[in-house]
Amino acid sequence: MLPRDKRLTKKRDFLKMGLVGRPIYGVYTTLRIRSLQKPETKVAFLTSTKMFKLAVDRNRVKRRLREILRDIWNELPSSMHLLFIAKPEALHGDFLKIKEDIRHMLTKVSDALQKPARPSPRARKNAVKKR
């Protein structure tokens, strides 16, 4: 498990990721990124019960993603919040291919930050409810 100071844990951080985070799409995961002013990098993983019915599968995917991030932690951009949303392909995908896919997505971070923020569908739906 990643140390607590390297994990996204607060609900407001997840909500901000949905509203102002920028998506980067990969084969095995979708990465949402948000730039920060503070010099810290925090990471979170989402495994939906809609995609992974069994808790065993959700936990296996999260363990695999955590291990990959542990290996490439020094390659992560600084001053960012990173949210990895697992796709069903991540469960049976080859470990090294998932790792390469994540590395490829990390090379696209600077391009994604140049584009305007795209709220996720759920964030848009919640924003409409609050009005």
What does the pLDDT read at residue 39? 86
Q: What angle do CA 97, 69, 95 make, to 5 degrees?
A: 25
What 3-state DSSP class applies to 34?
A: strand
Q: How far apart are CA 21 and CA 14, in angstroms?
A: 9
pLDDT in tens, 82-131: 999 999 999 999 999 999 999 999 999 999 988 888 787 777 666 666 65
pLDDT in tens, 58-76: 999 999 999 999 999 998 9
Estimate to the nearest angstrom the gap between the alpha carbon of 126 and the chain centroid.
20
Residues contacting residue 74 through CB under 8 Å, at least 6 positions apart: none
Nearest to 19 by CA among 129, 124, 128, 125: 124
Say which amino acid occupies 26.
G
What does the pLDDT read at residue 4? 86
Q: Residue by residue, what is the 3-state secondary structure of 70-89?
A: HHCHHHCCCCEEEEEEECCH
In this prediction, residues 25-46 reach a mean pLDDT of 92
pLDDT in tens, 17-34: 888 889 999 999 999 999
Residue ranges of domains in the chain: 4-130
Asked: is 4-130 a CATH 3.30.230.10 domain? The reply is yes
